[in-house]
Chain A
């Protein structure tokens, strides 16, 4: 029972609650009940999608595989939930900096930080790669005619 929360049944229950809330939200929206000129209900397809999800979440609670634990959740830790969020926040921050400072200035600190975080050693190798890779990527995309954010270096290129 201690590991029930990792089972398909538990996942089905969580999904049922989330999707149920989404279904209720859509049901309350005026556009969902708007009838189009051809007589089609505007909210029909979104509700079909959510309805299918609800049905499947309910099936997960009751079907023969309900007690099974997904392979990737068997040894899951709490950090598995927040570490990807930290990674995404880092990438988001890198993109935010990229749009202000430019690709060439924003990417090296991100690459260096992530390479070191993931365990790349020696540090010297990480520094070299963090500088060389963005330059190569920038040159490659520029050659292809794709303009990457130039930020404060816009005057130079």
Chain B
């Protein structure tokens, strides 16, 4: 441990500026999460341009706070109105809403909050312990190994991001293609610009991210509003009735009684979070499913706090570990990690294993922010959850146009280039079409970020091996092993249809529910 860097990190984090933005991040995140239809990715995409104006720790505080807050925030509307704020919290609906109907909404929300914060903290500690060791190992990798590691990450993302292997990989292909527009990363020669000089610098990350994650979602929701087919079950009570002073709270004994479910959530969430492509929704349903099978006596699914603890611990435990591939290998494992990686890049810091030696203060600051974020999440969640429950009732007719305007501002504010706004609108339409035909967006954004690194490493490997493709691609045992693993993942996913099975974990329970 570099003590000097750690002290520098403490000095960076414990400033008014960083703490202020961390609080704002969590505050906004819980609110965004509580609003059905707005996910952590949408929030971070919209806030990414704002992060330019902040210093590195302020930007990390804002984005990580937002991420943590949004993952917990999704449970608020799931419990209050049976409409999860994000898919990550869908498993929380089963027990949460039943408790709410029994007049125990307060108890349900507090269970969600405490289990979320417990699991998030535990998984963050795992990240802090594990990430530096993996990064140390990754430092030994040459261009060949790094190249195949990226291929493995793209393969995992493409195969596990949705239920259809071809669509996941297609999304990765689109990202790879878009990532090659503009000057090539080694010789700086223009290519793939369709004769347009404004494409010489390539597609900028901010309009891509806002278009694909925020605008596409707003187009989708706008369409739903116009068709008046908004989802969600009928709200039987108002938020005021649900969380009145007489509503039952959560005792410390009850919290402790959920330790097994939280343990399952921590284990599943940490593992799933560290793997590229799976994410919080799968972790939440897996954790919920395991707890339900393991403890039938706890009547999970019939309005039990243990079900909420399992689901919420599962999804929140993915938050920290999702950063492991980014920090250890420089490869984002999820859309949100890609956005946090993008913020680092825009601040002039390239995520890679070298970050641990070159920017050790930033790494330690990130670790401290991860832990502090949980404390703020606890405080803000405890104080304002019941207020946020009302936020979930803000009509889409108001929210969608406002977010559309915010998306325009975000795309424009990043560089002040009007072309970015039109680019964002075009990419928003692409994202909308992808949503319609069931093509996941995350592999596109992550492959877009990886594409230049992939090319750099391939060309470096070729240079080292004097143009010998065999040596460049299969010059080391680890390289061959990683290549074999990528092929194996593709074959297994195709044969066993793993993505489909993972996607069905949620759907099966949805159908049972009604």
Contact = CB atoms under 8 A, between A and B. Distances in A.
Contacts of B166: 8, 12, 56-57, 59-60, 63, 65
Interface string A44-62: 0110111111011101100
A152 to B, nearest CB: 17
A94 to B, nearest CB: 7
A-side interface mostly:
helix
B249 interface: no
B180 A98 contact: no
Contacts, number: 190
B422 interface: yes
B429 A38 contact: no
A89 B269 CA distance: 42
A115 B176 contact: no
Nearest to B466: A39
A129 interface: yes
A56 B422 contact: no
Given A36-B187, A95-B412, A141-B413, A53 B405 contact: no
B222 A53 contact: no
Q: Which of A36, A64, A110, A114 has the most CB of B within 10 A?
A: A114
A4 interface: no
Contact of A26 (B172, B192, B395): B192
B187 to A, nearest CB: 5
A39 B149 CA distance: 23
B223 A40 contact: no
Interface stretch (B89-97, B282-290, B435-443): B435-443
A95 B225 CA distance: 23
B152 to A, nearest CB: 15
A24 B161 CA distance: 29
A53 B422 CA distance: 24
B397 A48 contact: no
A26 B192 CA distance: 8
B170 interface: yes
A49 B418 CA distance: 28
Contacts of A56: 166-167, 169-170, 173
A111 interface: yes
A154 interface: no
A72 B437 contact: yes
Interface string B225-258: 1111000000000000000000000000000000
19 contacts: A8-B166, A32-B191, A39-B462, A40-B459, A43-B192, A49-B173, A56-B170, A63-B164, A64-B497, A77-B227, A88-B428, A95-B422, A114-B222, A114-B401, A117-B226, A118-B222, A118-B226, A119-B226, A146-B50
Interface of A: 8, 11-12, 15, 26, 31-32, 34, 36-40, 42-43, 45-46, 48-53, 55-57, 59-60, 63-65, 70-73, 76-77, 79-80, 83-85, 87-88, 91-92, 94-95, 98-99, 103, 107, 110-111, 114-115, 117-120, 129, 133-134, 137, 141, 144-146, 148-149
Given A52-B176, A63-B494, A141-B409, 16 more contacts: A45-B455, A49-B174, A49-B451, A56-B170, A57-B170, A59-B166, A63-B166, A65-B164, A73-B438, A99-B418, A107-B405, A110-B405, A111-B401, A111-B402, A119-B225, A129-B398
